[in-house]
Structure 1
Amino acid sequence: MATSTGRVTGTARDRAAGADGARGRGRPKKAGPVRRSMSQHWYAWAMVAPVVVVTAALIGWPLVRGVYLSLTDATEATMGRTIGVNVIPSTYGFTGLDNYVDILTSGLFWDKLIWTVVWTVACVGLHYGLGLGLALLLNRKMRLRSVYRLMLILPWAIPSFVAAFIWRYLYNSDYGVINAMLKAAGLGAVGWLDDPTTAKLAVIAVNVWVGVPFMMVAMLGGLQSIPGELYEAAEVDGATPWQRFRHITVPGLRIVSSTVVLLGTIWTFNMFPLIFLITGGGPGSSTEILVTYAYREAFTGIRNYSGSAAWGVIILLLLVVMALVYRRALRKQGEVW
């Protein structure tokens, strides 16, 4: 009897398991998040796909190629090339991190880095301060405000190479407009681009002239997004202009400020055309920043492609680290972006 009962119980259990298995096989599997996104937003993916492909071709492949070259000893003499019908194969080899060790242990790198940091901090600080001041002025009601805005935006609209050539002419020691004005005022001429100190001040001034309009436009947009009722309520409560600026304007511009300061830092850190076209990195190499020296390594003298690639990778890593630190600092302050 017990055996019969056990056999019946086992048969029922097997049937139940078989039914559950059949139901499991008949039930469709849940799609993963990627597949679900592709099925629901296929049109958006189709529109983005060409941009992704072009970006990968124009940025991804050169980046991978540059990282690879930085780990070799590739120079103009060891790179493969074709001369007429003769094909000369490449003879460079893998050297690992030797290029990075050579760069980071040289005093040249740290000299360039210090000047690049000074150049970036000075330019971005002046960009932000002057841009915010001009935005505060243009945010008020005044006559011909649109004309002033147009005139102040013009430096930003001029291409960088055009601005560089204009200012190089203005700084010319013999027939430059600036020295002509100094002579007319009874002062002596200044060799703006002949002395390391004046050359550094000259390129900073040009970059500030070019970059302030962007900051001004961004700050002006941020000011116009702050509700006017806040200023009216603060004025009714007896707040001074400085208190209104400190407790309303500055917090209201925090998100805009954090974004434009980061963008301005990245752009200024890599501002190649102004320095290269105005001073060529000179006199000597006193105004040369990291990116201009990397260019010099790759395209002047005996072209050191591997060394230039290593400089470029180091610059990229510096900017990535700086952006991550900056983003983390903003998160601690409660900013989300």
Structure 2
Amino acid sequence: MSSRQLTAMTGLAWRERARQLTTPEIVTPTVLLLPSLCLIAFLILYPIIQGFWYSLTDGSLLRPGHFVALGNYVELMMSPSFWHSVRFSVVFALSNIVGCYLLGLGLALLMQMDMPFRGLFRVLLLLPWIVPSVVAIVSWRWMVADQNALFNQIIKAFGGSPIYFLSDSTWAVVVVIVIKIWRSFPFMMLSLLAALQTIDRSLYEAAEIDGAGRCQSFWHITLPEIRNISVILCLLMTIWSVNDFDTPWLLAQGGPANATENLVVLAYRYTFARNDVGTGAAVSFITLFILMALFIFVLRLQREDRDA
């Protein structure tokens, strides 16, 4: 084949491709979606690009600053407070995921059974998720704030010594995790309950005929059937836990001694307390990169398992 014929065939291919892209089936949806895409780009893409630029500068809230390349990221890599925030964010997220999943799945299985006032119990169990976070966390703070708080009054009534929940680092971490699980498990329960109701009942009937017990049916039928939704829910819980600002800040302002300071609280401190917008933006983008890497890794594992 000569070069002239090859060039002609390439030109024909490009003209055919252009003709396909200009058909009404392509042009009409593109024109209709273009305003929404422009709005999304303006509201989401532009702030992300602008924030990434801030992470490459040494600016503050009052001045734009100068370009420092990856200086803010290098500084964070050598900062003990940053690595402490990373460790607490990991512990906080894992504890919330495990606690919410176990509690949510257990209650979902319970709410699926025939029992009196089942609808009322479902509504009551959704209250921690419905109540605004400020109201919920301030109420918890009132119950654990000092030696005269509600929980300490109960402890003293049974002859125990008061526990300073928000003054001790270990207890503060425990309280923050418990409150996060309390606020988050209703969403996990509701989602898993919906997934459980989509399982074909004939699978359990066949397993019962084959002599399988409840534990075997749960292990070999229930868990595999809700596996995909479980992965998605755990990923969502990871995002919400890592990005949770309300719980550690409203309860203890990241204290005591920065014990409950996660990455979001650290970014807030750098930006508004230390007036260091560049480093605060760098913390935010490191958090974004970690979550994106986690998402890609988990979704790739899920795809490989599905193809196997």
TM-score of the two chains, using structure 2 as the length reference: 0.91
Query: Is 2:6 the partner of 1:30?
Result: no
Q: What stretches of structure 2 of length at least 5 have no aligned partner?
A: 1-7
Q: Does structure 2 conserve the Cα–Cα contact (< 8 Å) formed by 1:124 and 1:265? A: yes
- Aligned equivalents of 1:166, 1:35: Cα separation in 2: 58
Bigger radius of gyration among the two:
1
Cα pair distance change 1:106/1:222, threshold 3 Å: same
- Aligned equivalents of 2:19, 2:97: Cα separation in 1: 42
Quote the sequence identity (%).
35
Counterpart residue identity of residue 329, structure 1: L
Q: Root-mean-square deviation (CA), in Å?
A: 2.4
What is the correspondence of 1:28-107 to structure 2 with a 5 Å cutoff?
A: 29-32=15-18, 35-36=21-22, 39-40=24-25, 44-45=29-30, 48-76=33-61, 79=63, 90=64, 92-107=65-80
Q: Does structure 2 conserve the Cα–Cα contact (< 8 Å) formed by 1:75 and 1:304? A: yes
- 307-316 vs 50-59, which moves further: 50-59
Kindly provide the CA deviation profile for residues 98-146 of structure 1, in whole angstroms up to 9, marking residues without a partner as x. 1111111222222211111011101111011110010010111111110
Q: Does structure 2 conserve the Cα–Cα contact (< 8 Å) formed by 1:75 and 1:306? A: yes
- Aligned equivalents of 2:133, 2:34: Cα separation in 1: 32
Partner of residue 15, structure 1: none
The alpha-carbon deviation at position 335 of structure 1 amounts to: 7.1
Cα pair distance change 1:93/1:278, threshold 3 Å: same
Partner of residue 298, structure 2: 326
Kindly provide the CA deviation profile for residues 207-229 of structure 1, in whole angstroms up to 9, marking residues without a partner as x. 00001001001110110000001
Match of 1:131 among 93, 96, 104: 104
The alpha-carbon deviation at position 251 of structure 1 amounts to: 0.6
Partner of residue 211, structure 1: 184
Partner of residue 304, structure 1: 276
Q: Which has the higher helix share?
A: 2
Partner of residue 4, structure 2: none
Bigger relative contact order, structure 1 or 2, given CA contacts below 8 A and separation 6+?
2
Cα pair distance change 1:237/1:107, threshold 3 Å: same
**SS in structure 2 of the partner of residue 233 of structure 1:** helix
- Aligned equivalents of 1:135, 1:161: Cα separation in 2: 27
Counterpart residue identity of residue 196, structure 1: S
- Aligned equivalents of 2:20, 2:83: Cα separation in 1: 45
The alpha-carbon deviation at position 54 of structure 1 amounts to: 3.0
Counterpart residue identity of residue 57, structure 1: F
- Aligned equivalents of 1:182, 1:34: Cα separation in 2: 74
Partner of residue 3, structure 2: none
Partner of residue 4, structure 1: none
Q: What stretches of structure 1 of length at least 5 have no aligned partner?
A: 1-20, 80-89
Cα pair distance change 1:185/1:48, threshold 3 Å: farther
- Aligned equivalents of 1:177, 1:239: Cα separation in 2: 47
Counterpart residue identity of residue 180, structure 1: Q
Counterpart residue identity of residue 122, structure 1: S
What is the correspondence of 1:242-253 to structure 2 with a 5 Å cutoff?
A: 242-253=215-226
The alpha-carbon deviation at position 33 of structure 1 amounts to: 8.8
- Aligned equivalents of 2:222, 2:83: Cα separation in 1: 38
- Aligned equivalents of 1:267, 1:134: Cα separation in 2: 21
Counterpart residue identity of residue 213, structure 1: P
- Aligned equivalents of 2:156, 2:292: Cα separation in 1: 47
- Aligned equivalents of 2:28, 2:156: Cα separation in 1: 66
Partner of residue 223, structure 1: 196
Counterpart residue identity of residue 81, structure 2: L
**SS in structure 2 of the partner of residue 246 of structure 1:** helix
